[in-house]
Amino acid sequence: MDRSFNKVFEVNTSCSRDSLWKILSKTESIPEYWHGTRWIKHMQGNRFQIRFAFPAKGIFELTYDTEHNIAKERYIKGPFKGEKTISIVADNEKTTIRVEWNVRFAIPYSMLAGKMRNHMSQGTGNAIIRIISAATDLQ
């Protein structure tokens, strides 16, 4: 049984790199765009507690690389462990928002891995749409 979710999502947009980064670099707005997250609470340093939309909690570390427009969430406790990396790449006339998941589901969630993968894929696609919409409003 495959317990992992390794997937890359890339969406091209006419939004500027700066407007997208303004949205992505605001930690407190994560639940606004990522509806699979009910809330996050700062613990210390770059560590946060997270409450997912399904009944589960976890802990993740969040780092921002402002120079390269990369936000990295490293999940260390909860229904899955691993990383979600969000990056913005500008190339001439287009900007690409890229989300890469590399996580492994914990037991008992691994028994529902297929449903979890579908749910996370759909949620990621919807989050990207919401982020682009908000960035468009900023321009």
Q: Do 4 and 105 touch, CB atoms closer than 8 A?
A: yes
φ and ψ of 100, to 5 deg: -120, 120
Question: In this structure, is residue 33 part of a structural domain?
Answer: no
pTM reported for the whole predicted model:
0.94
Q: Is the pLDDT of residue 82 over 70?
A: yes
Question: In this structure, is residue 43 part of a structural domain?
Answer: no
Q: Is the pLDDT of residue 139 over 80?
A: no
pLDDT digits (tens, 9 = 90+) for 84-123: 999 999 887 789 999 999 999 998 888 888 999 999 999 9
pLDDT value at residue 31: 97
Percent of the chain with pLDDT over 70: 99
Question: In this structure, is residue 66 part of a structural domain?
Answer: yes
Provide the domain limits for residue 102.
Answer: 4-27+60-138
pLDDT digits (tens, 9 = 90+) for 39-61: 999 999 999 999 998 889 999 99
Query: What is the domain-level CATH number for residue 126?
Result: 3.30.530.20
How far from chain centre, in Å, is Cα 59? Answer: 14
Taking the CA atoms of residue 117, residue 87, residue 18 and residue 138 in that order, the dihedral angle to the nearest 10 degrees is 0
CA distance 54 to 68: 32
Question: In this structure, is residue 77 part of a structural domain?
Answer: yes
Cβ neighbour number for residue 105 with a 10 Å cutoff: 22
Question: In this structure, is residue 38 part of a structural domain?
Answer: no
Question: In this structure, is residue 40 part of a structural domain?
Answer: no
Q: Is the pLDDT of residue 62 over 70?
A: yes
Spell out the SS3 assignment of the chain. CCCEEEEEEEEEECCCHHHHHHHHCCHHHHHHHCCCEEEEEEEECCEEEEEECCCCEEEEEEEEECCCCEEEEEEEECCEEEEEEEEEEEECCEEEEEEEEEEEECCCHHHHHHHHHHHHHHHHHHHHHHHHHHHHHHC
pLDDT value at residue 109: 84
For residue 133, name the pLDDT band (cuts at 50, 70, 90).
Answer: very high
Question: In this structure, is residue 103 part of a structural domain?
Answer: yes
pLDDT value at residue 1: 66
> How many domains are contained in the chain?
1
